[in-house]
Structure 1
């Protein structure tokens, strides 16, 4: 794709990056064939190719160009950032990087109404701090009948008790784990189950309470500076443990994992953090990556449920780990039911299910129809956003896959709840 940036424009780092991505696009349209929003709406502007043209027009135009309107922002807002288009693209277009640039620019050029800005600010502040989120969740569960529907559906009836975590210090091998921001409140058993399973493999999970939200929520709601500050704070929290020999930084939420693996790219221009950020990205591992490289002989499964696995977009399209969880579950003896169109997004997409509830609900119901076609006992997934979004329909039970593994193992001591 040809671009028309001036030499002066190309001195700006974000324009140089946009120019690089735009020039890699051959506008073939293969991306539209796998774009969830294009399939629902049938509007070229709600597919990757159309959005690329909109962003090209935006970035090449002057600040006073009246052709750049709220309509441009609407079509960018409707994008799930599922990155299905990147998996499909024959030219390797890094669409999500262009989208981050385009969204930041449209936010600057066409400011949102005060009420919408306040809503998005409140959303960020409610979600990114674990203690604040858990307090709000308890309040919401107490007064659940009064909570708006789109938020009520995100609330579990009662989070499963996490049980106890084994003493990580009894193992020579140590890994770090990102606790996350909403997962400790919505599914506290996920990381506890991870600790118990890894304990059986001789791996201790070192807690790092100073590490908080990965930064994705801020970043994708166009508070990109705040997102980068969270990245730096996490790097500072993890760094002493990395220097002490931690093997990996484990994520049980694939959305966080996809984001942390890009710390190196996003802080590449920061002289103080670039090298550390790159190291953190190299150490970031989804739980399935850890387990598939270990001998699983110590994990004796006594109960095999019939499962349908929903592979989150951030696992299959961003991290390119399609098949990793399925491989581990198959090795442990679980039966996986077939799922039609497993590449399509469930509609969760971070805060998308809150900011775009109508589209998100359509995508969720389509995904559940596909997951339930094989009559599974439980739907399992690898991302807390997908888990709560799918569970909100109150159909087949939805859990994180590691919880089912932990629950199905032969008893060992009193670790398992």
Structure 2
């Protein structure tokens, strides 16, 4: 693709990166076949190729309109198109650059501004979010439907084991996950403890939101500040020899793996950000990496039935497309004795996509309906996933229990241990 970037962006880091990405695109259109919004809407501008043209136009200095913003807002950033693309176009980076420019040039209506500001303020702040969640549970009948369906009662987390092993990792606790599903991180700690890995406590500085929420809500500077705060919080443990930054939400692990790239021009944080990204591991990678130890434990678990007859696994976009991790969770669940039911169109997004279910509720519900139809076609006893956003979004649309896959593995290992 030939480009003629405008003066305002040509010689900036973002402009140079966008130019490189644009020049890789060969207009083949393979991406449209796997784009969820193109499948729903049938509009070229609601597919990756059309959005690339829109971003190219704005980078070349053409007028940016509300219509441009609408089509970019509708993108889920699921990155299915990147998996499909034969040319290796890093579409999600181009989208971030384009959205940042549009946000600066086309002010949103007051109602949208209020929504975005509330999401950027409340969700990344764990204390504020958990307080708001308590209030929301009390006021659930009065909330808008799109918000009320996400407010669930939560079971308390089972105890975590004390740190007792030489091998140690640092855990990203997250911002919304501890309030919505506190047992996920506890289950991960118990599973890792069984294979000789402990989660170490951080010092006075605590890691918070991974940065994805604010960054993808077009507060890119705020998202980068969240990333810097996490690096500061983790760095003492990294220097002390922690072997990994462990993340149980696939959206967050995908984001932490990009710290090095996003902060590469920051002289104070660039080298440390690269180190953090190199250490970042999704919990699926860490558990699967302990093949011998976990294999023996899972073999015992498999022999210690009963386990649910069928499990349907929803692979989040951030796991299969963002991190290119496929088949790992399924293999671990099968090794523990769970029977996996087939899921049609497993590559498609469920419609959660961070805050998408709140900013684009109608499209999000359509995608969820399609995904649940595929997941429930095999009559599973439980649906499992690898990301807190997908978990809460899917759970709001079905009576079938929805859990994180690490919780099922933890339950199976408990059965084996008696």
* TMscore range, shorter length: over 0.9
Q: CA deviation at 1:7?
A: 6.9
Establish whether residue 353 from structure 1 lines up as the match of residue 357 from structure 2: yes
Q: SS of 2:170's equivalent? A: strand
Which residue number in structure 1 is paired with residue 185 of structure 2?
191
Establish whether residue 230 from structure 1 lines up as the match of residue 226 from structure 2: yes
Q: CA deviation at 1:334?
A: 1.5
Map of 1:243-322 to 2, 5 A cutoff? 243-294=239-290, 295=292, 296=294, 297-299=296-298, 300-301=300-301, 302=304, 303-305=306-308, 306-322=310-326
Comparing 16-25 with 329-338, greater Cα deviation is found at 329-338
Mark the runs of 5 or more structure 2 residues left unpaired by the alignment. none
Establish whether residue 340 from structure 1 lines up as the match of residue 344 from structure 2: yes
Q: CA deviation at 1:198?
A: 0.8
User: Structure 2 CA distance, aligned partners of 1:256 and 1:5?
Assistant: 32
Q: CA deviation at 1:44?
A: 0.3
User: Structure 1 CA distance, aligned partners of 2:236 and 2:415?
Assistant: 35
TM-score after normalising by structure 1:
0.95
Aligned length: 408
Q: SS of 2:297's equivalent? A: coil
Q: SS of 1:15's equivalent? A: helix
Q: CA deviation at 1:413?
A: 8.5
User: Structure 2 CA distance, aligned partners of 1:413 and 1:165?
Assistant: 16
Which residue number in structure 1 is paired with residue 70 of structure 2?
74
1:95 equivalent among 87, 91, 98? 91
Q: SS of 1:161's equivalent? A: coil
Establish whether residue 373 from structure 1 lines up as the match of residue 367 from structure 2: no
User: Structure 2 CA distance, aligned partners of 1:240 and 1:137?
Assistant: 32
TM-score after normalising by structure 2:
0.95
Which residue number in structure 2 is paired with residue 83 of structure 1?
79
Map of 1:373-412 to 2, 5 A cutoff? 373-410=377-414
User: Structure 2 CA distance, aligned partners of 1:353 and 1:155?
Assistant: 13
Which residue number in structure 1 is paired with residue 167 of structure 2?
173
User: Structure 2 CA distance, aligned partners of 1:6 and 1:394?
Assistant: 49
Which deviations, in whole Å up to 9, do the C-alpha atoms of 1:90-131 show, x marking residues without a partner? Answer: 000000000000000001111112331121011111111111
Q: SS of 2:185's equivalent? A: helix
Which residue number in structure 2 is paired with residue 203 of structure 1?
197
Mark the runs of 5 or more structure 1 residues left unpaired by the alignment. none
User: Structure 2 CA distance, aligned partners of 1:17 and 1:219?
Assistant: 17
After superposition, the Cα gap between the structure-2 partners of 1:189 and 1:18, relative to the gap in structure 1 and judged at 3 Å, is same
